[in-house]
Amino acid sequence: RKEVEQDPGPFNVPEGATVAFNCTYSNSASQSFFWYRQDCRKEPKLLMSVYSSGNEDGRFTAQLNRASQYISLLIRDSKLSDSATYLCVVTRHTGGFKTIFGAGTRLFVKA
């Protein structure tokens, strides 16, 4: 079982839709959580960090559930430009520093 798992998708949604991605992690010692976005043939870029209290940045909301060991990303009012792969990232320091990327969830937003 992979340490970080995501639904690979693809998710095909119309413009204006709300879409949610989930990511689960298996190591309870995980400490920091992030969502990155990767456009086709480009490098990954930070979308947002994920905090225990949940955080929002415009149309994007990230949540962390430590008890169930998952993080989520909600995108409201999807735009065509949101089409990309969304990568869940988990880091931990116990037993040595480790950073693990999920395999990514592909999103296609269509007009």
Partner 1 sequence: DTAVSQTPKYLVTQMGNDKSIKCEQNLGHDTMYWYKQDSKKFLKIMFSYNNKELIINETVPNRFSPKSPDKAHLNLHINSLELGDSAVYFCASSQGLLGGPQETQYFGPGTRLLVL
Shortest CB 43 distance to partner 1, Å: 4
Alpha helices of 12-109 — where are they, by DSSP H? none
- Given the structure tokens 């998710």, which residue do they identify? 11
Binding site for partner 1 (CB under 8 A): 31-32, 34, 36, 42-46, 49, 85, 87, 89, 91, 93, 96-101, 103-104
- Between the alpha carbon of residue 48 and those of residues 1, 55, 94, 110, 111, the distances in Å are 26, 9, 23, 23, 25
Name the residue nearer to partner 1 (CB basis): 18 or 46. Answer: 46
Token pair belonging to 27: 């190591």
Name the residue nearer to partner 1 (CB basis): 17 or 103. Answer: 103
Name the residue nearer to partner 1 (CB basis): 28 or 32. Answer: 32
